Amino acid sequence: MPTHPLDPTLRATARQGAGRMAALFALSLAAAGVALALPTALGRALDALLAEGDATRGPALLTAGLVIAQILVGVLTTVLTAGADAHGAAWLRGRLLRHLLAVGPGAASRFPEGDLVTRATGNAVHAGAAPAALAAAFAAAATPLGAIVALAVTDARLALVFLAGLPLLALLLRAFARSAGDAFAGYQRAQADIAGRLVDALRGARTIAAAGTEEAERRRVLDPLPRLGAHGLRMWRVNARATGRAAALTPLLQLAVVATGGLLLAAGDLTVGGLLAAARYAALAGGVGLFVGHLNRLVRARAAAVRVGEALAVPPPRHGGAALPPGGPGRVEFRGVSARRGGREVLRGLDLVVPGGSTVALVGRSGAGKSLLAALAGGLAEPDAGRVLIDGVPVTDLAPDALRAEVGYAFERPALLGGTLAPTVAATIGLGPGPAPPPERVAAAARAARADGFIRTLPDGYATRCDGVPLSGGELQRLGLARAFARGGRLLILDDATSSLDTVTELHVARALAAHAAARTRLVVAHRAGSAARADLVAWLDDGRVRALAPHGQLWARADYRALWAADEPAPAARGAAAGADGAGGAAGA
Q: What is the pLDDT of residues 319-329, one digit of tens each?
A: 888 888 988 88
Same structural domain for residues 308 and 453? no
pLDDT at 20: 84
Q: Look at 570 and 398; give whichever has higher pLDDT.
A: 398
| Per-residue pLDDT at 220 exceeds 90 | no
**143 lies in a domain?**
yes
What was the pLDDT predicted at 556?
93
pLDDT at residue 568 greater than cutoff 60: no
Residues 247 and 349 in one domain: no
**318 within a domain of the structure (yes/no):** no
Mean pLDDT of 79-92: 88
- What is the pLDDT confidence band of residue 572, given thresholds at 50, 70 and 90? very low
Regarding whether 475 and 372 lie in a shared domain, the answer is: yes
Report the pLDDT averaged over residues 505-534.
Answer: 76
285 and 337 both lie in a single domain: no
* Same-domain pairing of 490 and 392: yes
pLDDT at 534: 86
Is the pLDDT at 583 greater than 50, yes or no? no
Mean model confidence pLDDT for the chain: 80
pLDDT at 187 over 60: yes
Residue 2 within any structural domain of the chain = no
pLDDT digits (tens, 9 = 90+) for 140-184: 777 878 888 888 888 888 888 777 766 766 666 666 666 666 777
Query: In this structure, are 166 and 299 located in the same domain?
Result: yes
Closest C-alpha to 529, from 494, 555, 500, 491: 555
Q: What is the DSSP letter of 569?
A: -
Q: So what's the pLDDT on residue 427?
A: 87
Q: For residue 119, what is the DSSP state?
A: I
**Which residue would you say has higher pLDDT here, 412 or 523?**
523
pLDDT digits (tens, 9 = 90+) for 52-67: 655 567 778 888 888 8
389 beta partners: 333, 394
- pLDDT class for 205, splitting at 50, 70, 90? confident
pLDDT higher than threshold 70 for residue 463: yes
**Cα distance between residue 46 and residue 465, in whole Å:** 74
Instruction: Give the pLDDT score at 288.
Output: 56
d(CA 280, CA 40) in angstroms, rounded, equals 9
Shared domain for 297 and 391, answered yes or no, is no
- Residue 272 lies in domain: 8-312
Of the spans 70-84, 92-106, 234-248, which averages the highest pLDDT?
70-84
pLDDT band at 490 (very low <50, low <70, confident <90, very high): confident
- The H helix count followed by the E strand count for the chain is 25, 10
Judge contact between 328 and 356, C-beta under 8 A: yes
- CA nearest neighbour of 499 among 478, 527, 475, 479: 527
**Mean of the pLDDT values across residues 551-573?**
76
Higher-scoring residue by pLDDT: 399, 574: 399
pLDDT at 50 > cutoff 70: yes
pLDDT of residue 553: 92
**The predicted structure's pLDDT at residue 2:** 41
Distances from the Cα of 59 to the Cαs of 41, 295, 527, 579, in angstroms? 6, 35, 87, 101
Q: Express each pLDDT in 408-417 by its tens digit.
A: 888 877 777 7
In sequence order, the 6+-apart residues with CB closer than 8 A to the CB of 225 are: 194
Cβ atoms within 10 Å of 154's Cβ, excluding its own: 23
Per-residue confidence band for 590, with pLDDT thresholds at 50, 70 and 90: very low
As a whole number, mean pLDDT of residues 308-312 equals 86
Q: What is the pLDDT of residue 5?
A: 42
pLDDT (0 to 100) of residue 229: 86
- Give residue 38's pLDDT band: very low, low, confident or very high (50, 70, 90): confident
pLDDT value for 558:
92
Q: Evaluate whether residue 262 is within a structural domain.
A: yes
Q: pLDDT grade, residue 557 (50/70/90)?
A: very high
Q: Which percentage of the chain shows pLDDT scores above 90?
A: 12
Same domain, residue pair 282 and 427: no
Q: What φ, ψ does residue 25 adopt, rounded to 5°?
A: -60, -45
Higher-pLDDT residue of 60 and 559 is 559
Number of domain units in the chain: 2
Phi, psi for residue 62 in degrees, rounded to 5: -60, -45
- pLDDT(207) > 50: yes
Q: Per-residue pLDDT averaged across 420-448, rounded?
A: 83
| Domain-located, residue 370 | yes
The answer to whether residue 249 is domain-embedded is: yes
Same domain, 172 and 270: yes
Domain assignment present for 326: no
pLDDT digits (tens, 9 = 90+) for 19-28: 888 888 888 8
Q: Averaged over 455-482, what is the pLDDT?
A: 84
Predicted local distance difference test score (pLDDT) of residue 561: 92
- Taking a C-beta distance cutoff of 8 angstroms, is the pair 153, 278 a contact? no
Task: Name, in order, each residue with C-beta under 8 angstroms of 476's C-beta and a sequence gap of 6 or more.
Answer: 413, 414, 416, 500
Among 172, 214, 221, smallest CA distance to 198 is for 221
Name the band, by pLDDT with cuts 50, 70 and 90, for residue 355. very high
83 and 176 both lie in a single domain:
yes
User: CA of 442: how far to CAs of 191, 324, 421, 433, in Å?
Assistant: 44, 25, 17, 15
Inside any domain, residue 69: yes
CATH number at residue 91: 1.20.1560.10
The pLDDT confidence band at residue 388, using thresholds 50, 70 and 90, is very high
* Same-domain check for residues 371 and 505: yes
Question: Does 541 have pLDDT greater than 80?
Answer: yes
